[in-house]
Amino acid sequence: MSLAPASLSYPLPLQLQTLQIQYLWRSWAMRLLDGSTPCSENRCPSMANLRIGVIGGGGIAAAHLPRLKQRSDEVTIVGIADPGPKAADTAGKFGIKRLVADHRELLPDVDAVLVCVPTHLHAPIAIDALRGGKHVFVEKPITRTAEQAEQLREAIASSGKALQVGFVRRFDEEWLVWRQAILDGRIGRPVIWRDIQAVHWPTRPWFVDEAQGGGPFLDGCIHNYDFALHTFGPAEWAFAHLRTMVSDRTAFDTGTATIRFRSGDELLLAWSWGLAEGCRGGRVFEMLGPDGTLTWPPDDPNLTQGRIILTRPREKQDLRFTPGSLFKGFDNQMDEFIDVCHGRKQPQAGWQEGRDSLAVALAVLESARSGRRVDIM
């Protein structure tokens, strides 16, 4: 049940994958050494300790654990549930002594869980936790199918507990900077958001198994769907041409998709996880509007410069963000979950937001199978 390679659950340039791994482990080690335990008016050691269990001990769990370790003022990590052999490495690196094979062994001893397992297992495990009276943080996508999402909604309603979906880009300064520029009208509306990438990935077969992970246009692009909904509003329709490049896969691993929003904005995706080993395509990530563009420096594929280029007639301006802002986003996301569990906040992304992004993903896959445009309700 271990989740993913240490590069998290979506493809990134190999250099950035390496930077991610180095950052996560260095950040974890520094936090333990300095013994820091942030305390503010909302985060005080006097508050009841929140007991958290981590279900799934792979790469995405390792992205969340540094902040949970740092938040020892309010959090106790009870253990990891994962039958896979790599979970022991994660537990050892983070000093977590309890490791069990079955998530149900952890439930009596926790107040909340992180569900960090393959997508098709999200619903049954999250439902078990909710029925056991636990708050749930579930990684994206919320579930593999619409039917599973509805079962999850019913479990939330009957339990009275909170559910937060792991859309970390909502906490990523880089993405928030360009979102604000769009909302401020800096490049006009409607906007076309183009995201183009092609890699040899992933190493875990479940990502490209149709029944388990659904391929890049479900598991990977789900961040784009959610953030586009967050920025543009409700989606109207999807149209896609997808194919499977690697013969032993059951999910689409390559293609193009267009999602139109009621606002008139569009999201254009051209993704592949199906290239031959050692091959990669060009990278495009940009926003095009009637009054200007938002682009990323072409000489900075790993975003180390921390700048987005806003171009308008007779004007060019750098919009700055902190390099490595995604990692801080993981911290902020866990801070929100702690607040959610204590009843101090509602999650930015709950069941409805998870279900809305899943609806877009399922429409993209249906369009690819049918060859028709699919309306999104």
Write down the H helix ranges in 97-215. 122-131, 146-159, 173-183
Compute the CA torsion angle 359, 363, 366, 371 (nearest 10 deg). 180
Q: Output 127 or 324, whichever has higher pLDDT.
A: 127
pLDDT-based confidence at 302, cuts 50/70/90?
low
Domain boundaries, the chain: 14-168+327-349, 170-323+358-375
Q: For residues 55 and 115, is the Cβ–Cβ distance under 8 A?
A: yes
Nearest to 239 by CA among 264, 209, 267, 212: 267
CA angle at 345 for the pair 343 and 349, rounded to the nearest 5°: 120
pLDDT digits over 252-294, tens only? 999 999 999 999 999 999 999 999 999 999 999 999 999 999 9
Please tell me whether residue 170 adopts helix, strand or coil conformation.
helix
pLDDT digits over 91-117, tens only? 999 999 999 999 999 999 999 999 999
Alpha-carbon span 309 to 316, nearest angstrom: 7
Nearest to 285 by CA among 294, 276, 272: 294
Distances (CA, A) of 237 to 127, 341, 350: 30, 35, 23
Write down the H helix ranges in 247-376. 325-341, 351-370
Residue 343: CB atoms within 10 Å: 9
What pLDDT shows up at residue 202?
85
What pLDDT shows up at residue 303?
66
Architecture of domain 170-323+358-375: 2-Layer Sandwich (3.30)
Q: Output 187 or 17, whichever has higher pLDDT.
A: 187
Q: For residues 193 and 265, is the Cβ–Cβ distance under 8 A?
A: yes
Residue 132: CB atoms within 10 Å: 16
Amino acid at 178: W
Alpha-carbon span 142 to 123, nearest angstrom: 8
Residue labelled with tokens 């993913």 = 4
Q: For residues 201 and 254, is the Cβ–Cβ distance under 8 A?
A: no
pLDDT digits over 162-178, tens only? 999 999 999 999 999 99
And the tokens for 190? 């409607």
122-132 average pLDDT score: 98
How do strand 235-243 and strand 254-261 relate by DSSP bridges? antiparallel
Buried b (16+ CB within 10 A) or exposed e, 77-108: bbbbbbebeebeebbeebebeebbeebeebbe
Architecture of domain 14-168+327-349: 3-Layer(aba) Sandwich (3.40)
What pLDDT shows up at residue 227?
98
Q: For residues 126 and 102, is the Cβ–Cβ distance under 8 A?
A: no
Alpha-carbon span 62 to 292, nearest angstrom: 39
What pLDDT shows up at residue 5?
29
Alpha-carbon span 214 to 146, nearest angstrom: 13
Alpha-carbon span 230 to 251, nearest angstrom: 27
What pLDDT shows up at residue 23?
44
Residue 139 pLDDT greater than 60, yes or no? yes
The phi and psi torsions of 58 (rounded to 5 degrees) equal: -95, -155
pLDDT-based confidence at 47, cuts 50/70/90?
very low
Inter-axis angle of helices 59-70 and 325-341, nearest 10: 70
Alpha-carbon span 76 to 329, nearest angstrom: 21
Amino acid at 31: R
